[in-house]
Chains A and B, each alone.
Chain A
């Protein structure tokens, strides 16, 4: 069974600085998606960025980028020029695309990001 691990329960960053959130996963599959979701205090789950496993190029979305290391099964999120609105809980998630998959997302434990002014 696939698992997702976020080893940093809490992280802190100064406004305008850069921070990296870590995520590792375990799978025997070769075809899958990885995601980072953001959950602010409003509790809405917001997609930050997605990565398809067959794509070698790291995904980027404005100030957000990932470092996808498929062999190491690592998927870290880098937030550049951190803003106060980035303060939230961040979840790493895995979605299998293998045959017979049920399409469910498997989530990590989450990392709470604090942004200091």
Chain B
């Protein structure tokens, strides 16, 4: 079973469209993240949820809206797509804080979703 799974893996769409990327983790973690990897491979945090509560909201256009229906799922919806939104989007999960049994500190990543806006 894949620990962190994202769908779709590839997404090609026209400028101005709306699209969603879904993420699910089966690790029992309480914190989930969205990262964006740009064309230069730089990874930057976008959002993070802890037990369905938004705890990180970096400087991201409000066209991007995350939603966490439960602590195992974190979806990303993007409105009015622009050329600059083309990137690979990674979902990740982790145990929130040290003190949890077997805390390892790392983030577990999904395989990434490559979004291409034409």
Contact = CB atoms under 8 A, between A and B. Distances in A.
A23 to B, nearest CB: 14
B55 A102 contact: yes
Contacts, number: 55
A105 interface: yes
B43 interface: yes
Interface string A39-76: 10011110100101000000000000000000000000
Contact of B41 (A33, A103, A105, A110): A110
Contacts of A107: 42-44
A91 interface: yes
Instruction: Classify chain B: how many residues form its interface, as a range.
Output: 20 to 34
**Centre residue among B48, B97, B106 by max chain A CB count within 10 A:** B106
Contact of A104 (B45, B97, B104): B45
Interface of B: 31, 33, 40-45, 48, 50, 55-56, 88, 90, 92, 94, 96-98, 104-107, 109, 111-112, 114
Interface of A: 33, 35, 39, 42-45, 47, 50, 52, 89, 91, 95, 97, 102-107, 109-110
